[in-house]
Structure 1
Amino acid sequence: MNLALADIRHKLGRFVLTCLGLGLLMAVALSMVGIYQGVVTEALALSRSLRADLWVVESGTRGPFAEASRIPGDVREMVARLPGVAAAGAITLRTAEAQAPQGTIRVQVIGYEPGRPGGPSVIATGRGLGGTRFEIVADARSGLPLGATLLLGRYRYHVVGTTRGLVASGGDPLIFMQLRDSQDLQFRLAPAAARRAIAASTGGGSTDTVNAIIARLHPDADPALVAETALRWKHLAALTDQEQSDLLTLSVVNRARVQLGMFTVVLLFVSAVIIALIIYTMTMDKLREIATLKLIGAPDRTIIGLVLQQALLLGGVAYVAAVAIVFSARDVFPRTVALGPAEVAVMAVVVAVICLLGSLVSIRAALRIEPQQALGG
């Protein structure tokens, strides 16, 4: 006869409610782990989708994500002629608010030249950009379906394709459009301001400006060597794909990662304290039963097994409930909840360790119970 299972069957309703409450707490901790991983996933989503081996930006900056960067559009031709470069494309990036059918949405606009590097690698539904202007490809998180119209600036754009999982480092959905359309949005001045700029000879009428040039290299090319060649032009800086990834994870989203990590640790600590209190309460509720076991000669290992089994069953059932809650609700979260088998398995080990440590106080208290207490009033 398993004493732990017998006790749970005797108080099944209380055990289920306790597991549900503890499961909700674990679901919060597990979702924080997923959001922590999701911050990194979101930060690298665009760079991975573009499949760029080299980023050429303005000299003295670490753009285009960490800092503002502006370079002439004709730099693309210069980069394309570098030894080892297979293809090069110009891109612009701009965060904006747009009027969608469901209301105002915040997006990051990516401008690129169709047929060159810079566009989404995979189209989920619809098609990519063609030769027609005022078309966009929007990520599904924007809530824009195929055929929808988006008012951005002074123009209306039509959704011809959608992607999945492409968001900016801040969580804003990405929208891809023609480079010319993006340059007009970002760099073209209003008519009155343009006239003043032209009159002042500051070149206010030109929009041939981009934020970065991305390049794909031949398989046998060395990214570091190509970057060093690009650096010979004094007005340019170059980063390899690995340097860009390190910059995104260690600089752009580092503060958010640290904050989420600290909050996750606090949640796990709170979970450990609550689990320990629950196990201790369950053990003290069986004070007379444990005393009776000792009175009839049950060894200490039987008492220890009773407490440990209940603690592990409590943690196991609660964790299964937490996983079910998180995976059924993670698509509703405004940020990506990136949970894979590795994260779920590691968290399961953490919960098991917490249950084992939380049961130590209860085991110590159970072993100190005197058999005579079974005969008390």
Structure 2
Amino acid sequence: MNLAGRDIRYHLGRFLLTGLGIGLLLATVMAMGGIYRGMVEDALSMIRGAGADLWVVQKGTAGPFAEVSRVPEDLYRAIRAVSGVRDASPVAFQSVQLRQGERRLRVQLIGARGGALGMPPAVAAGRPIGAARHEMIADLRADLALGSQVSIGRLRFTVVGLTDGLVSSSGDPVVHVSLMDAQEIQFLKGSEAIRNERARLEADLSGRGPGGPDAASVAPLVQNTHLANAVLVALEPWADKDEVAARIQRWNHYRAMTGAEQEEVLTRSVIERARQQILLFRVTLLAVSTVIIALIIYTMTMEKTRDIATLKVIGAPDRTIATLILQESLGLGLLGFLLGWALIGQTYEFFPRRVAIEPVDQYVLLGIVVGICALASLLGIRRALSVDPTTALGGGAQ
């Protein structure tokens, strides 16, 4: 006779409602884990989509995703001459606000030469960028139709292609434009700023006396836009990444990072704080679930005091009583887990950020839930084993 099953059927309504509450908590735990995995996948999709073996960035920096990095645009010519390099291309990265009528959208802007490293290897719809200026490829998450007109700063673009699944570590959709457009957006100052810069130069140079350069000749150098945030490098199949990276750093005085190092920068530095926050939130929710299960099992045990005493009177061993409490606790936890899994499986697509649900994460969580249920049942088991058998006869301790 399964005593736990009979008791659950007797209190079925409360058991199901409690399981639903635990399921909601566990669904949130699953969502938090999926959001973190989604953040990692989003971040890595941008790096892997670039198709680069090495990232050459400003010396002393960790690359454009972690801090400001600026290198000369024509650096790629020197890098192409390095043994083992198949191709090199300058790219620019910037987080900007895109405008479409009254709509405002935050996007990750990538500027690269047409058909070169940095551009998406394929488009889901439309075509690659063919013109030198004012064309854009946007990710589907930007919700921009082919042929639509959008503005960034002073420039206006036509969406000619769409990609699928390219987003930044912060969840912003990625848009690709030509390198010239990206340089103008990021490095070219506005008219008022240029006038102020020239006035400052004239004031500084006027105090140096005759013989020095005039402001007109120096201003173009200060307002130079022929810059990039990194140079992407593709290697020959036979080339060794570490050797080529060391050669670039030695002869060109820049930092060369492998794709794996860039991925580590994103996962260990850029989104590390978010990972810690999500982990703390998950631990808190699991602790709350443990307390809820323990309280429910203890309450159900208290209500069965006379029944447990009767079992003791008829000679039921303590192991049978402990198994009854443990089975009810495990049943409650497993019901909550199944309800939570079903809920997150039906709703994860509606989250504003990518939620990557991995089976291995669910199996680990299932093991944790089983452990939590076993731990939570200890309080009820302790109470059940302390019941006086005389309670069944109407006396004894309650």
Shorter-chain TM-score range: over 0.9
- Give 5+ residue unaligned stretches, structure 1: none
Counterpart in 1 of 2:243?
225
Q: Residues of 1 paired with 2:226 and 2:382: CA distance?
A: 75
Q: Residues of 1 paired with 2:247 and 2:387: CA distance?
A: 77
- Give 5+ residue unaligned stretches, structure 2: 199-214
Is 1:201 the equivalent of 2:208?
A: no
- Whether the aligned pair in 1 keeps the contact of 2:49 and 2:120 (CA below 8 Å) is yes
Q: Residues of 2 paired with 1:100 and 1:7: CA distance?
A: 61
Counterpart in 1 of 2:11?
11
Matches within 5 A, 1:228-243: 228-233=246-251, 235-243=253-261
Q: Residues of 2 paired with 1:287 and 1:122: CA distance?
A: 68
Counterpart in 2 of 1:96?
96
Write out per-residue CA displacement over residues 181-205 of structure 1, whole angstroms, 9 at most, x where no aligned residue. 1112112222344465573713255
Q: Residues of 2 paired with 1:149 and 1:162: CA distance?
A: 14
Counterpart in 2 of 1:277?
295
| Matching residue's letter, 2:57 | V
| Matching residue's letter, 2:327 | Q
Write out per-residue CA displacement over residues 85-141 of structure 1, whole angstroms, 9 at most, x where no aligned residue. 122221101111122367211111011112111022343333332236322222222
Counterpart in 2 of 1:45?
45
- Whether the aligned pair in 1 keeps the contact of 2:148 and 2:158 (CA below 8 Å) is yes
Matches within 5 A, 1:144-183: 144-183=144-183
Is 1:114 the equivalent of 2:114?
A: yes
Residues 234 and 132 of structure 1: CA distance in aligned 2, closer, same or farther (over 3 Å): closer
| Matching residue's letter, 2:111 | G
For the residue of structure 1 that corresponds to 2:147, the secondary structure is: coil
More divergent stretch after superposition (154-163 vs 365-374): 154-163
Q: Identity percentage over the alignment?
A: 47
TM-fit CA distance, 1:76? 1.4
Write out per-residue CA displacement over residues 284-332 of structure 1, whole angstroms, 9 at most, x where no aligned residue. 2222222222222222222122112111111111111111222222223
Q: How many residues align?
A: 377
Q: Residues of 1 paired with 2:168 and 2:20: CA distance?
A: 35
Q: Residues of 2 paired with 1:164 and 1:273: CA distance?
A: 43
TM-fit CA distance, 1:17? 0.9
Q: Residues of 2 paired with 1:167 and 1:279: CA distance?
A: 45
TM-fit CA distance, 1:370? 2.0
For the residue of structure 2 that corresponds to 1:46, the secondary structure is: helix
Counterpart in 2 of 1:127?
127
More divergent stretch after superposition (222-231 vs 7-16): 7-16
For the residue of structure 1 that corresponds to 2:379, the secondary structure is: helix
Is 1:244 the equivalent of 2:262?
A: yes
TM-fit CA distance, 1:225? 0.8
Q: Residues of 1 paired with 2:89 and 2:6: CA distance?
A: 69
Correspondence for 2:328 among 310, 326, 329: 310
Counterpart in 2 of 1:294?
312
Counterpart in 2 of 1:70?
70
Report the aligned-residue RMSD: 2.1
TM-score, normalised to structure 2, is 0.88
- Whether the aligned pair in 2 keeps the contact of 1:39 and 1:257 (CA below 8 Å) is no
- Whether the aligned pair in 2 keeps the contact of 1:135 and 1:160 (CA below 8 Å) is yes
For the residue of structure 1 that corresponds to 2:250, the secondary structure is: coil
TM-score, normalised to structure 1, is 0.93
Correspondence for 2:275 among 244, 257, 269: 257
For the residue of structure 1 that corresponds to 2:133, the secondary structure is: coil
Residues 295 and 146 of structure 1: CA distance in aligned 2, closer, same or farther (over 3 Å): farther
| Matching residue's letter, 2:272 | N
| Matching residue's letter, 1:124 | A
Counterpart in 1 of 2:370?
352
Write out per-residue CA displacement over residues 236-295 of structure 1, whole angstroms, 9 at most, x where no aligned residue. 221112222222222222222222222222222222122211221222222222222222
More divergent stretch after superposition (359-368 vs 139-148): 139-148
Q: Residues of 2 paired with 1:120 and 1:304: CA distance?
A: 61
Moved over 6 A (4+): none
